[in-house]
Chains A and B, each alone.
Chain A
Amino acid sequence: MNNEDIRVGVFVCDCGSNIAGVVNVPEVVEYARGLKGVEFADEGRWSCSVDALATMQESIKEHKINRVVVAACTPRTHEPLFKANIKEAGVNPYLLEFVSIREQVSWVHMSEPETATQKAKDLVKMGIAKAMLLEEGEEIRLPVKTDCMIIGGGMAGMTAASNVADQGFNAYIIEKEQRLGGLLNGISTISHDHDEILAADIVKAKTDSVESHPNIKVFTSTEIEAVEGYIGNYKVTLKANGKSENLDISTVIVATGMQEIEPEQGQFQYGSDPRVVTQLQLEKKLKAQDVGDIKDVVIINCVNSKNATRGCCAIGCPVSVKNALTIKKIKKDINVHILYRDLSMVKDEQIHLQAAKAAGIKFVRFPDDRYPEVIKNNGNLMVNVYDFLLGRELEIPSDLLVLTVGFKGSDTVEQVKGHLKVSSNPDGFFQEAHIKLGPLDFASDGISLCGCAKNPKSLKETCEEGIGAAMRASIPMKNG
């Protein structure tokens, strides 16, 4: 096609007031109309709405447009939509140029309408110039076979594997430890409606079904050495006991889980006194049904969470309530105090909270900026806490002090990032494709994400994500 034949259509979106509230859209449209090569330019209130898309198709046909510039929100979420739309109007989808005047203009220059309008004009002009150079392309579809590799054999990974395998696809679980189960191996019970189940029972049932599944192959004590290739065609090298093994893989599910962040030495006497433990260390005692000969348990919530660098640990509140109840069950006359900042329980968690209060567990709220202090007096641990609701300082003795600490991703996160070219946040939790609408995907096709590798969550949510990630990995495998 030579230059003469190029007919650019420019569609500028108001995005309600998201763009039009800042950028003078009619001015941008007028400006675009005057540019070389532009055959048609129009403003849309919501360009992505069904009627606007239909109108866009009509305009494309009517004005015989063969290059399309859309100036709107962001290509991240909307490019596929507009590509599909111009395709329906008979224009090759590769002839679309997307200009972001929301994320790059109206949202960053919210209080400078003039700068914003000028910048929008510049971007639209560049977009038009770029559009004129675009050439037709073709979607290349690579055949995708049916072998899925799951990295991490915790509950998320195992759940994903069984759902993949139930469809007749092959699932390979890679677990770096000697046994499957992850965090749950170290946990005593999981609370559930009105009672509890032993975590060990859940792990055993799941492990049995995974290990006996004809389509699942489990690699324990195994690590990934190298990954090469792209969706549908990864070459993976595994390393176990010094030996290497190769796998041909079509899709990948990342389920590498999380770990507790160890408190600093001396923080709340942690490390310097064996009576100070984390929740996970407490779980070990509870699993053995042996808390020792103790009288006073104090649990401090939100340790190293909800501060300048880290958010809420998400599961600490229900876990502290669950473990407090278990302690009471082991020995009724142990005094248990939970020191907390916020305690908002959803649905059934609320029932556990009430059960805990009925069992005599004491709840003390401390202010956000005034954490309890732990001192050692004649070998006894004392917790000083300012009771926010009573408005006075309390002194609580403690012969078992439990810290509800925050979490971070697995130690292997950096390695996995290198293999798969994916990203994570500073705490080592992987970054999903879209926080709202792409929660189980990575930005690269063919790799999905589930469980606590993304952020801390309950077992139920972990398993839901495992099932969902299996679906995301299966769609390309099912379609071949």
Chain B
Amino acid sequence: MNDSILIIGGGIAGINAALNAAKYGTKVYLVDDTASIGGMMARLDKTFPTNDCSICIEAPQMYEVDNHPNIETLTNTEIRKVKKIDGGFNVKLVQKARFIDPEKCTGCGACVEACPVSIPDEMDGKISGMRKLVYMPFPQAVPNVVVIDPDCRYGNMREKGACVGGCVVDCSQCRECPIALCVLACQKEGKDAVRLWQSNKNLKLEVKSIIVAAGIMDAKPPTGLHGYDVFDNVITYVQFERLMNAGGPTAGQIIRPSDKEHAHRIGWIQCAGRGLDHGVPYCSKVCCMVAAKQTIITKEHDASVDTTIYYNDLKAYGKGFWGFYQKAIENGVRYVRARPYDVVEDPGNKNLTIRYENLETGELVKEEVDLLVLSTGLVPSDRNKRLAKVLKLELDKFGYFKEKDPLISPLETGVDGIYLCGGATGPIDISESVVQATAASMKAVL
């Protein structure tokens, strides 16, 4: 019988499941459908409740994954078909073309420098992060190999100034390219790693068990919610996290999208959209602490910035969380129990006036801020539906993977041999993800 296991999702949960199983002596395939492992944690600045730098504590684990002889990492890879066989599963996967030979690429960045086209980085949304069409997902990416946006190779970026897309033949028919600046730059470095003609690769695996670690996503605010998508200076809490991140698009400068000026009065609306038609129906568990973290860090950058958290309930359930909330208060963060009802923009200076009911006094209050952050909560990965279908698993009514019996056999699913961990099971923080990942790896190796 085959003795290896498959882990789907390379966030902090998938990484920890992989490391534990590998150290146990089991061969692991760690699959992520994006260009690097790391998941949400790779995008965060600090982590509550200790304010450890997020990527600084995650990168050593990513590096360990990369170097462990028992782990094979497959990024840019999707699960297509899974068939239950005696003692395990047959799995068909597709590794999407990266247009780079990962064996040859050293991550030197010469191609990135040479590329003439910059587009907004999906990771950073409206806070103006840009990336080239050939790019490194982030500096600590694993594998540390660049990736080319497929839109470029397919000629869709010609109008934006891409150097390819005008040839009479399709790149797939070429074996060398005299045109593309990235190709030339790489050759000049003596590496010749760019492969515009690369195609998708089909892979097949046989494994004895599968761990689903497909994670969470931040909820997108419904359009118009508190002025989101209408007013420039209303952003989400993930965008704010990127703003304050030293490794983010503004190198940690907390500036407004409208005029790139430093924000001096910042408001956070908690539970934003919760209970509304397109909002999240439940408490997401982490966003209260995320807001505490973001305000503390903001105050550390510049103590004179006014930070106000408009909230209804405070979720401070975990170890050290309450102390962290108290630290926010000690640092001068203002907490107001409030029910916001609308936000208007001053068309001149783009400042925002939030109008809310103060729950403590019952008064209607108006307050002006320079930047407004919406804590929208967590939702399941948007690929869960497809993955559930392929794995023949059930999702619960919120879209998270369903456990067979959460109390009697936690982390097990309706299919024998498939286990869950991390955000795949519901809203969760990092340490809980690591706990579940360790538990799921125990079940999977047996």
Given contacts A311-B322, A464-B410, A471-B20, contact A50 B246 (CB under 8 A): no
Please indicate which of the listed interface residues A436, A465, A474 has the most CB atoms of chain B within 10 Å of its own CB: A436
A388, B56: Cα distance in complex, Å? 43
Flag whether B142 is at the interface (Cβ < 8 A). yes
A367 proximity list for chain B (CB < 8 A): 360
Q: A468 at interface (Cβ–Cβ under 8 A)? A: yes
Tell me which residues across on chain B come within 8 A of A332, comparing CB atoms: none
Q: Is the CB of B57 within 8 A of A437?
A: yes
A side interface size, CB within 8 A: 74
List of B residues within 8 angstroms of A460 by Cβ: 406-407, 410
Q: Is B305 an interface residue (CB 8 A)?
A: no
CB-based contact B63/A468 at 8 Å: no
Q: What total count of A-B pairs have CB within 8 Å?
A: 206
**Interface hit among A41-49, A257-265, A281-289:** A41-49
A389-B359, A437-B430, A460-B407 known; A465+B435 contact, CB < 8 A: yes
Stretch at the interface among B118-126, B164-172, B231-239, B278-286: B278-286
A190 at the interface (CB under 8 A from B): yes
Which of A21, A48, A166, A436 is close to B252, meaning CB atoms less than 8 Å apart? A21
Q: Is A108 an interface residue (CB 8 A)?
A: no
B431 within 8 A of A: yes
From 424 to 446 in chain B, residues with beta carbon under 8 angstroms from any chain A beta carbon are 426-427, 430-432, 434-439, 441-443, 446
A463 within 8 A of B: yes
Q: What is the CB-to-nearest-CB distance from A83 to chain B, in angstroms, rounded to a whole number?
A: 11
Contact bitstring A417-455, B, C-beta under 8 A = 1, else 0: 000000000000100001111111000000000000011
Q: Is A167 an interface residue (CB 8 A)?
A: yes
A470: chain B residues within 8 A (beta carbon):
442
Asked whether A306 lies within 8 Å of B49 as measured between CB atoms, the reply is: no
Q: Which of chain A's residues have a CB closer than 8 A to the CB of B57?
A: 77, 434, 436-437
The verdict on A73 contacting chain B, using a C-beta distance below 8 Å, is: yes
Interface segment among B183-191, B214-222, B308-316: the answer is: B308-316
Would you call B67 an interface residue if the criterion is a C-beta within 8 Å of the partner chain's C-beta atoms?
yes
| In contact, A202 and B407 (Cβ under 8 angstroms) | yes
Instruction: Let me know if A311 and B320 touch, CB within 8 A.
Output: yes
CB contacts (< 8 Å) of B396 on chain A: these are 347
Taking A167-B446, A345-B283, A439-B431 as contacts, is the C-beta distance between A463 and B410 under 8 angstroms?
Answer: yes
Q: Does B52 contact A (CB under 8 A)?
A: yes
Tell whether B47 is near chain A: CB-to-CB under 8 Å.
Answer: yes
- Docked-complex contact B246 and A16, CB < 8 angstroms: yes
Distance in Å from the Cβ of B379 to the closest Cβ of chain A?
Answer: 12
B151 within 8 A of A: no
24 contacts between A and B (CB under 8 A): A15-B56, A16-B53, A50-B142, A50-B144, A53-B63, A54-B144, A78-B60, A192-B406, A311-B319, A311-B323, A312-B322, A341-B314, A342-B315, A345-B283, A346-B426, A349-B282, A437-B12, A439-B431, A439-B435, A440-B438, A455-B318, A471-B441, A471-B442, A475-B20
